[in-house]
Chains A and B, each alone.
Chain A
Amino acid sequence: MTVLLELREKLKMVYGRYEAFILPIVKFLLALLVLLTINGRMGYMKLLDSHLEITLIAALTCSFLPTGGIIFFAAVFSLLHMYALSLEVALVGFFLYLVMFLLFFRFAPGDSLVVVLTPLLCALRLPYVVPVAMGLLGTPASAVTVGCGVVVYFLLQVVVGNATTIGTLGDEEATAKLRLIVDGLMKNREMMVMVAAFAVTVIVVYLIRRMSVDYAWTIAMIAGVMTDLVILLVGDLLYDTHMSVGWAILGAVLTLICAKVIEFFRFCVDYSRTEKVQFEDDEYYYYVKAVPKMSVSAPTKTVKKINSQRKIGNTGRISGVPGAAGSAGGTRNAAGGARGAADRSYGSREREYGAERVPGTGRTSGASGRSGGVSGAVGSAGGTRNAAGGARGAADRSYGSRERDYGGSRGSRYGGRNVTASSRPDDSEDDYEELF
């Protein structure tokens, strides 16, 4: 679970950083998928079907338009295909889209993308995902939008299903074509059952997930899927809607998986750490149930600067001790001599390990500190450490900095690399040992 939570945090971080690029790409891909599905399913207008560049241009346009752009282009593409089939069919489609736009979308403009996603997922045999997802993420008003999406799907289905018949009818039989489509919609019991099932599902899921019970979201999604299945099966028994039970069960399982993914990203809480508090003000008593969110902070280690290795000759030899060195802020010598008078800062937000040595600032003869009589005396300001050391001097230690510098001079004669790594504040100094 921790790995998943870290992954989620990383995804959030990446999305936050590259939102300006990710969002248009997602819109482009969604628009492309929708338009290609429409072309693939209908494909009566050869100009649209054979010229992929038109679809690509439309999808690219959608990428920088609001989400309504996808709906607009999807409607235009479907109407053009209908027009290529028959003017009357296109007329019915246009009227239907217009009525839906005028009467329903103005009350739920935020959910308008659902009108596109519902037919798309119905075509991919995943129709139950939309009502459950909208119940989890939306409001009861989303039931209207989901219903509109189902109507759009069945409109396209009726057109595709009657395309051969419509093609055989001549121009003089305009009303017959129109009647075929209108009857196909108005007398479509499968559509009615599905609209009712989806609307009820959205409301059931919404009501349950708002309840103050543990695992409300999980209960809501299971209840929603079961409600959906039961209504569809009852509808199948009553009206003989030719529902495939196998696909329905498979779709239900996939819906639960999708819903769990949504829950993970939107409502990931730890019920085992639930706290219940009670308090009052002048007007009310409050019974608050606080459920902590599951979250971990994504580990970040950023290499800020890597200096090329360079040789330093005859530095810091003081009082016959070769390689005396001084550094500012937490110098560490892998092979060192004296640990001199040093300012050591542990736990400070900024540490430097093995920074550049400054000759002559290390241990001086007779100075405070312990002389080891070996090469590599080190004096530093702020967090000096010698792995093999000689003199450990009076140290001025300061704890609590966040950024640490690693590297720098290794040993007594070489100015090595400086690597600055920012880390979490709770990391101990030992976490960085392995870097050397």
Chain B
Amino acid sequence: MLNEERILLMTKMASYESGEGKKNMRIGKYFRSDYIAIQVLKSVVCATISFGLVFALFIVYDFEKFMQDLYAMDLIAFARKVLIYYIVTVVVYGAACYGICSYRYSKAKKSLKCYYQNLKKLHSLYSEQ
């Protein structure tokens, strides 16, 4: 027999129990600002390293031409260009990370709150039977 109240609870809990439980517990230990700041900081570091790797590959890719043009080119303009690319990369990736982490945090908190409430309620329903 279908128990309407239990179905209601399980429907609400379904989103939480889709395999994100452990992750949400970890997220739930932080305050929102702390969690997002740590994640964005990690993203900036990751983006910086990745940009460095790609830039190094770009230099090595055409190293001979680069070395030939090195003395003729405007190094300040080149550095500015590289810096702009770097900032764009970091900002875009950091913003994406900020958005993802904000979303994850709010989702985790909400679902954790609901989850614990619903668990209690479900437990009481089973006890009544």
Contact = CB atoms under 8 A, between A and B. Distances in A.
A47 interface: no
A279 B100 contact: no
Interface residues of B, number: 22
Interface string A193-237: 000000000000000000000000000000000000000000000
Interface string B14-56: 0000010000000000000000000000100011011001101
A107 B47 CA distance: 13
A310 interface: no
Interface string A168-200: 000000010011001000000000000000000
Interface in A71-112: 91-92, 95, 98-99, 102-103, 106-107, 110
A431 interface: no
- Interface residues of A: mostly helix, strand, loop or mixed? helix
Most buried by A among B47, B61, B62: B61
Contacts of A107: 100
B50 A103 contact: yes
Given A103-B50, A106-B42, A279 B61 contact: no
Nearest to B66: A175
Nearest to B8: A286
Contacts, number: 51
A204 to B, nearest CB: 19
B69 interface: no
Contacts of A182: 57, 61
- Interface residues of B: mostly helix, strand, loop or mixed? helix
19 contacts: A95-B56, A98-B49, A99-B53, A99-B54, A102-B50, A103-B47, A103-B93, A110-B19, A175-B61, A175-B62, A175-B63, A178-B60, A179-B61, A275-B2, A277-B2, A277-B7, A281-B8, A288-B4, A288-B8
Given A99-B54, A178-B61, 18 more contacts: A98-B53, A99-B53, A102-B47, A102-B49, A107-B100, A110-B19, A175-B61, A175-B62, A175-B64, A178-B57, A179-B61, A179-B62, A277-B2, A277-B4, A286-B8, A286-B11, A288-B4, A288-B7
Interface of A: 91-92, 95, 98-99, 102-103, 106-107, 110, 175, 178-179, 182, 275, 277, 279, 281, 286, 288, 290
Interface of B: 2, 4, 7-8, 11, 19, 42, 46-47, 49-50, 53-54, 56-57, 60-64, 93, 100
